[in-house]
Chain A
Amino acid sequence: IAGITQAPTSQILAAGRRMTLRCTQDMRHNAMYWYRQDLGLGLRLIHYSNTAGTTGKGEVPDGYSVSRANTDDFPLTLASAVPSQTSVYFCASSDTGSTDTQYFGPGTRLTVL
């Protein structure tokens, strides 16, 4: 593989269920990010990680958690999904930080009913 992969591609989920969105990169990038994209709101940062073992909160972290056990993987977990978490979720990575290009995965379309 080359770049960033996300799984699943799409998912319909009942409210209250737990869900983990997977993200894997093979570029050995230090920084990784999770965004949600909603119509008219652009992309909003949920959580980020500067390097393996560290994570930070973005603009809209409530209801989500992340972990960064190694360089390649950055899963996003919804502990108890709610309908307002219906969105398209994008994972991204960059070599280091503010000046670096972010490379985006293809996205996961999540619907919470």
Chain B
Amino acid sequence: AQSVTQLGSHVSVSEGALVLLRCNYSSSVPPYLFWYVQYPNQGLQLLLKYTSAATLVKGINGFEAEFKKSETSFHLTKPSAHMSDAAEYFCAVSDMGDFNKFYFGSGTKLNVKP
């Protein structure tokens, strides 16, 4: 089975600062990787996904992530944080061996300070 590790359950940045949320995965085969965002009292929304095309993936709201196979990582970045980015972010991997099974990380709550 796949697994996902998100380092840091809480990250705090100042408005305008770089956002870096870390995600590492374990997989015996090339995975599909996703970042989702959850705003308070809402369901999850897709930010971006990697499906074996370009390793640098651009998503919505200025976020991007880079797939690094050698590091088994898929870190999420945004050059300049905005107050509206405050939310919880989840990294997920899909298990190509078990079609349709997704494994989520435990989440990172991003706080943006004015």
A42 adjacent to B104 (CB under 8 Å):
yes
B104 adjacent to A105 (CB under 8 Å):
no
Residues in B neighbouring A56, C-beta threshold 8 A: 100
A42 adjacent to B43 (CB under 8 Å):
no
Known contacts: A45-B101, A48-B101, A106-B42. The answer to whether A99 contacts B106 by CB under 8 A is no
Q: Which A24-50 residues sit within 8 Å CB-CB of chain B?
A: 31, 33, 35, 40-45, 48, 50
B95 adjacent to A98 (CB under 8 Å):
yes
User: Which of B45-53, B62-70, B79-87 interfaces with chain A?
Assistant: B45-53
Residues in B neighbouring A4, C-beta threshold 8 A: 43
- Would you call the interface of chain B mostly helix, strand, loop, or mixed? strand
Residues in B neighbouring A74, C-beta threshold 8 A: none
B44 adjacent to A99 (CB under 8 Å):
no
How many of A's residues come within 8 Å of B, CB to CB?
Answer: 27
Task: Indicate the size class of the contact surface on chain B.
Answer: 20 to 34
A97 adjacent to B106 (CB under 8 Å):
no
B106 adjacent to A98 (CB under 8 Å):
no
Residues in B neighbouring A58, C-beta threshold 8 A: 101
B43 adjacent to A107 (CB under 8 Å):
yes
A42 adjacent to B105 (CB under 8 Å):
yes
One of B32, B96, B106 near A40 (C-beta < 8 A): B106
Residue of B4, B46, B95 with most partner-chain A CB within 10 A: B46
A104 adjacent to B44 (CB under 8 Å):
yes
A99 adjacent to B51 (CB under 8 Å):
yes
- B25: CB under 8 A from chain A? no
- A11: CB under 8 A from chain B? no
One of B9, B43, B100, B105 near A98 (C-beta < 8 A): B100
B107 to chain A, nearest CB (A): 5
